[in-house]
Structure 1
Amino acid sequence: MKLFFAKRFEPVRILVVYIAICVAGLLQFVLLPAAHADTGRKSVELLLGDVSLNKLPFVLAYEEGIYTRNGIDVTPMFSKGSVEIIRRSGVDIADQYIFKGDSTPPIKIGGASPTIIRLTTKAGSWDPIILGSTHRTSRWRIVARPEVKSVDDLKGKRIGYSGVGAVTHFVAIVFAERLGWDPQFDWSMLGDGLGVDALKNNYVDAFVGPELHATMAVDAGYKLLADLGDYQLPVAGSSFLFDRAWLAENPDTARRFMKSTVEAIALLKNDKEATFRTLRKWFQMTDPELLEFFYLEAEKLPSKPYPPYEGIKKVMQVYDSHEMRKYTLEHFYDDSFMKELDESGYIDSLYD
């Protein structure tokens, strides 16, 4: 009889144990600050590599107190160069949000592709590890002058990007290849050609632009020629870059940062007004139509920002070299922090 009931209720027992494990895993992240209160609050400078939609979750986490609730003090700052570029498109950033230090902070939110390219082309370059990304497939736009009527018209024209090795440069190359064109000879690729000024001064016929640059160009009367999201190009764009030595010494702080990031993305998707407050303050964006348009783009950010595996593969192919071949794909990323958050069910719980 005992054997009968044991067999009968064995599936139930297994289910109960499974649920208990899942709940324990979830509580690991829900209760993270309290569970590690004795470790002390850490202060971290966060460098935002450019002024773009991909940086919105990190300033939102700062503004809405998400970092503080998770037991870390994070101060996000934009790089000086990125602010100079975005100002050409009519977006201003207050001086207190501009990074003025000389050395790279331990965490940077920036393009994986330029980081990898710099590592393999410039001696002594930083070699961080990628823990996640909000830009794994193309979402950007091509904006053009009025005389360019279609994507086919781009052949033989001047296409602008920010700089060699930048994500805009990489996307332009991959897009040309997708069209069956030679990126070197079927059009002219011009650096420092990103933004409204480049179109206005007739320096370029079109440019590959992040959402914010493209939005401001369209608002200035230029033509939205192509939505690169329709092409699903693999991208190694804005990623969470961690200094390897710092990460080895501060895994708990990194875990709190990653938890804060997925929470900020969920808040962005679930609370439009909180997102608008941050856009108004940090991006000086007040026009209601621009706010709505930008928010629609922001909703496309991935809820589970894993590293850009396919994008990194493509970067290694496009910028192939003797030095690049010294590295494996796995050298560039660590997805264990994202897997912890995902497999525990914590990320899904943010959308229940």
Structure 2
Amino acid sequence: MAQRKIKIRGVYRSGSHLPIWEVLQQAGIWDKAGLDLVNFEYCAMPPDAERALFKGDIDFISGDHLTPYGLVARGKPIVSIASPVNGQNASIASREPIKSLHELRGKGIADTPMEGRDGGFHHGRGNHMMYLIRAGIGIDQVNWVESESSDEQFEALKSGKADARFISGAGERYKELGLHVLPLGPLPMINGPTLTTSYTVLHKKKGLGERLVKALVLGIHFAKTKRRKTEKILATLNKRTGEDYQYSRVERMPKKPYPDPQGIINAYELGCIKSPEAKEISPLALWDLHYLRELDDSGFIDKLYKRKVRDA
């Protein structure tokens, strides 16, 4: 007897999360996991997503990495159950050549404000702060030249209003202007389409946690083993959104989407900057990995990758 599908609604916090969810949708994986995704929309700011989750308007959030620590400290039932992206890479573009981040002490860095107008925490800015913290530089030892506009940040660097700016990619645009680019290497960080939900939802919809994790695992497996089909799905997504999502974005996701331990600690430290009361809880208090562990312990994931898959 076929299992009864669970209807679910979700939001994603960034368009960069879309590739893996598009794979799940177009490959019929929600259905295979016993789920019926009836609504999935973009939500710009964490407070709006969290409010919808606690009201029961949605069942999960794709993302939401930093503000939940403060919510857990205040007794809210928010929980993260899987993490398919556990790091990021950045470079620093500067007007003068530098060999390390230490040379930025006292300098101006163009970036987004730490918080949005409604109090939401900008994770990108948080990542940049964590690069400084890990290099032994206090976030108050640099001068932040803040703007919500990426173009204005770029102009601030060009004009000399700022001395440096964190960037992604190789920075060819900056090099062509005679600016200098220093790759910073990987930063362990909970990032991307983390599965975040609430215990209220999980208790109300029995089996939801298991099915959400299984769907994500199946989606990652599809992407890793059916490259041509996945690239076709991403090409359609790119045409629809005007973006340029590459196959590597989903291919590098781990077979078993456990969070990286240092990534948890780094995200927690940023969460404490946003919500100092979070210092009273453990970095692990947000996480419940038993759904993933049970699926892993059953041998399901290992068996998936032992099968021969035809990528037609």
Q: Same fold (TM over 0.5)?
A: yes
Partner of 1:129: 79
Match runs of 1:1-352 below 5 Å = 37-38=2-3, 40-52=4-16, 54-75=17-38, 77-81=40-44, 103-104=52-53, 105-117=58-70, 127-136=77-86, 138-142=87-91, 144=93, 147=95, 149-150=97-98, 152=100, 155=104, 156-161=107-112, 163-164=114-115, 165-188=121-144, 190=146, 192=148, 195=150, 197-202=151-156, 207-208=165-166, 214=168, 221-222=173-174, 225=181, 227-228=183-184, 230-231=185-186, 233-238=187-192, 239-284=194-239, 294-318=246-270, 319=272, 323-352=277-306
The alpha carbon displacement at 1:332 in A equals 0.8
Q: Secondary structure at the match of 1:284?
A: helix
Q: Secondary structure at the match of 1:142?
A: strand
Structure 1 contact 279–285 (Cα < 8 Å) conserved: no
The alpha carbon displacement at 1:333 in A equals 0.9
Change (3 A) 1:242 1:282: same
The alpha carbon displacement at 1:174 in A equals 1.5
Q: Distance in 1 between matches of 2:242 and 2:14?
A: 22
Structure 2 contact 190–264 (Cα < 8 Å) conserved: yes
The alpha carbon displacement at 1:173 in A equals 1.6
The alpha carbon displacement at 1:158 in A equals 1.6
For structure 1, list consecutive stretches of 5 or more residues without a partner in the other structure: 1-33, 83-98
Q: Distance in 2 between matches of 1:257 and 1:181?
A: 39
* TM-score relative to the length of structure 2: 0.74
- The alignment yields a C-alpha RMSD, in angstroms, of 3.6
Change (3 A) 1:191 1:340: farther
Structure 1 contact 130–241 (Cα < 8 Å) conserved: yes
Q: Distance in 1 between matches of 2:202 and 2:25?
A: 21
The alpha carbon displacement at 1:143 in A equals 6.1
Q: Distance in 2 between matches of 1:75 and 1:208?
A: 38
- Residues 203-240 of structure 1 show CA distances to partners (whole Å, capped at 9, x for unaligned) of 7665546xxxx46x958x34594555x34x33132321
**What amino acid does structure 1 have at the position aligned with 2:235?**
R
Change (3 A) 1:170 1:118: farther
- Residues 40-96 of structure 1 show CA distances to partners (whole Å, capped at 9, x for unaligned) of 2221112111111x44212210111111122211146342538xxxxxxxxxxxxxx
Structure 2 contact 70–277 (Cα < 8 Å) conserved: no
Partner of 1:86: none
Q: Secondary structure at the match of 2:52?
A: coil
- Structure 1 stretch 308-317 or stretch 58-67: which is displaced more? 308-317
**What amino acid does structure 1 have at the position aligned with 2:265?**
K
Q: Distance in 1 between matches of 2:34 and 2:222?
A: 18
Change (3 A) 1:200 1:168: closer
Structure 1 contact 59–76 (Cα < 8 Å) conserved: no
Q: Distance in 2 between matches of 1:59 and 1:78?
A: 12
Equivalent pairs, count: 281
Q: Distance in 1 between matches of 2:122 and 2:279?
A: 20
Partner of 2:310: none
**What amino acid does structure 2 have at the position aligned with 1:179?**
A
More strand as a share of residues? 2
Change (3 A) 1:118 1:254: closer
Structure 1 contact 144–199 (Cα < 8 Å) conserved: no
The alpha carbon displacement at 1:251 in A equals 3.7
The alpha carbon displacement at 1:252 in A equals 1.2
More helix as a share of residues? 1
Q: Relative contact order (alpha carbons < 8 A, sep ≥ 6): 1 or 2 greater?
A: 2
**What amino acid does structure 2 have at the position aligned with 1:68?**
D
Structure 2 contact 78–196 (Cα < 8 Å) conserved: yes
Give the percent of matched residue pairs that are identical in Structure 1 and Structure 2.
18
Structure 1 contact 234–310 (Cα < 8 Å) conserved: yes
